[in-house]
Amino acid sequence: MNGLLVMKFGGTSVGSAERMRASARLAVEESRKRPVAVVVSAMSKITDLLLGTMRHAEAGDRTGMESNLAALRERHQQTCRDLLPHERQPEAMKKIGRLIDEFERIVNGMAMLNERPPRSVDEGVALGERLSALLVSEHLLAEGVDAEAVNAWEVVVTDAVFGNASPLMEPTRVKAQTRLQPLLDRGAIPIITGFNGATADGRPTTLGRGGSDFSASIVAAALDAAELWIWTDVDGIMSADPRLVHDAEVMDEITYAEAAELAYNGAKVLHPRTLAPLAEKKIPVWSKNSFAPEKPGTKIVPSTKAEGGVRAVASMGNVALVSLEPASAEVNGTLAMARSLEAIARADVEVLVVSSSSYRQSFCFLVRSEELDRAVQSLESALALELAHGYLRPISVDNNVGLLAAVGEGMQGKPGLAGRIFTAISRVQVNIIAIAQGSSELTIAVVVRRDGLEKAVRAVHAECGLGRRPPAPVFPSGLLTPRPGCRE
Ligand code: ADP
Ligand code: ASP
Ligand code: MG
């Protein structure tokens, strides 16, 4: 579609009536110039509330369930009262009530069975996005803007991996054209739920936590959009998580590959899979602040002429290191590693870092904490005989670890860079446990002690000369000899 702009609003950008109004205004302004499709997240904290309610239901905790349901109702009803003119409220309240009743039926079923089937979780958790899409579209209609809430079940076709589904782009393209194109053709703004989709036979799925970014890129790719704008609560993609590094700076431009590496290594500002659907068509993406829309934000582009080197640091705290070691030299360590990797892949666990030692034939994998149990169970069953006979030492798990990743195109051209990163980490007395450099040479990943992670991030950020620089002190020239940054 020619000139289409897809805009995605995250949880804080639709977190209250006031924020919904501000976000809707941004969409309407752009829709005067070109067709706009909107993708919305659930209101901030609602997804956690929904998941918590379903956990209460599984545990048979009726009190917890009821109190969460009351909070869910109250937040959306209050937003509705604050957002809509009086005369439109009764009808909207009924629609909100019907959606929350739907959720209540799902949690009641879970409470009865003391079970939380992944398929029902996906159906239930999508309620957050359905509620926010409803509210934003009702607001636009009240303002006289043609808009329609669209459940992404009708648009995004996925595989059946509940909780972490992947899109099937061809059927999605057909559905997106059929469902959304007529709306766009008549000048309406579709308000599409982020985060969810459905299998080809109609079973509800979700795309993983933070997946609304991914939804927006799926919709943008399916409709051949001209641009995708991702509205969030910071000024763009920054040289580090601003919650950890106070002088982190906003980047004007970053490549798809750099942004994807940052996201995969823990930068929450973008869902890791967001850029994949866009790469083929090279659809440009902007990360922008809906609280400060006048700021330019960060442009994510296929390639850049910027000088190579470390451009940003990402980190991940919720990870665990799983180590295996043959008990004797007779055991083929390479084979044990291959079998282990296969077992982990079969359990649908993502390996973030692999490191091995050829002398002791030991090896370790870094995985996300929430995938740890699955990884260990799968390893124990695949290697049951070797473990029982003592050919392999017992699997060891270290939870006190964190991952730091220094990311930037063209790092291979910077001799001594890795050494400087390791020295900076050691200088702040943080232990390095494992090191990996991706074959793309876009990332140097370092596993460190969890309690030293934040310190290590700040040290690497500073060592690489990233961040807003303080105003230069006025000294006679020649007295200051700054350390070279990682891009110099
Ligand atoms: P949304 O709800 O809009 O999707 P998220 O909370 O998922 O927003 O992502 C935005 C948050 O990501 C920011 O508030 C910031 O704390 C965090 N973040 C982590 N790393 C970075 C980074 N490198 N650049 C910008 N923000 C980052
Ligand atoms: N609401 C979902 C979540 O919190 C998806 C998103 O916000 O992107 O994970
Ligand atoms: Mg997000």
Query: Residue ranges of the domains in the chain?
Result: 5-233, 313-463
Domain 5-233 identical in fold to domain 313-463: no
Cα Rg of the chain, angstroms? 24
CA of 229 to the centre of ligand 1 (A): 15
Q: What is the CATH number of domain 313-463?
A: 3.30.2130.10
Distance CA 456, CA 462 (A): 10
User: pLDDT tens, position by position, for the chain (488 residues)?
Assistant: 469 999 999 999 999 999 999 999 999 999 999 999 999 999 999 999 999 999 999 999 999 999 999 999 999 999 999 999 999 999 999 999 999 999 999 999 999 999 999 999 999 999 999 999 999 999 999 999 999 999 999 999 999 999 999 999 999 999 999 999 999 999 999 999 999 999 999 999 999 999 999 999 999 999 999 999 999 999 999 999 999 999 999 999 999 999 999 999 999 999 999 999 998 899 999 999 999 999 999 999 988 877 788 999 999 999 999 999 999 888 888 899 999 999 999 998 999 998 887 776 889 999 999 999 999 999 999 999 999 999 999 999 999 999 999 999 988 767 788 899 999 999 999 999 998 876 667 999 999 999 999 999 999 999 999 987 665 555 555 454 444 555 54
CA of 347 to the centre of ligand 2 (A): 24
The ligand whose atoms approach the alpha carbon of 269 most closely is 1
Position 154: which residue type?
A: E
| Ligand 1 contacts CB of residue 208 (under 6 A) | no
CA of 234 to the centre of ligand 1 (A): 7
Distance CA 344, CA 356 (A): 16
CA of 424 to the centre of ligand 1 (A): 25
Model pLDDT, residue 44? 98
Model pLDDT, residue 260? 94
**CB-defined site of ligand 2, < 6 Å:** 10-11, 41-42, 47, 128, 194-195, 209-212
| Ligand 1 contacts CB of residue 402 (under 6 A) | no
Which ranges of 16-126 does DSSP label H, i.e. alpha helix? 17-31, 46-58, 62-83, 89-113, 118-125
Model pLDDT, residue 220? 98
Residue from 241, 252, 464 whose mutation best tests the ligand 1 pocket (most atoms within 8 A of CB): 241
Q: What's the predicted TM-score (pTM) here? A: 0.92
Close Cβ partners of 402 (under 8 Å, ≥ 6 residues apart): 315, 316, 317, 319, 447, 448, 449, 450, 452, 453, 456
- The one-character DSSP state at 88 is G
| Ligand 1 contacts CB of residue 265 (under 6 A) | no
Task: Determine the atom of ligand 1 nearest the C-alpha atom of 271.
Answer: 7
Residue from 26, 209, 268 whose mutation best tests the ligand 1 pocket (most atoms within 8 A of CB): 268
Model pLDDT, residue 440? 66
Q: 216 is written with which tokens?
A: 């927006």
CA of 231 to the centre of ligand 3 (A): 9
Nearest to 39 by CA among 132, 144, 159: 132
Domain spanning 5-233, CATH architecture:
3-Layer(aba) Sandwich (3.40)
CA of 133 to the centre of ligand 2 (A): 13
| Ligand 1 contacts CB of residue 457 (under 6 A) | no
Model pLDDT, residue 481? 47
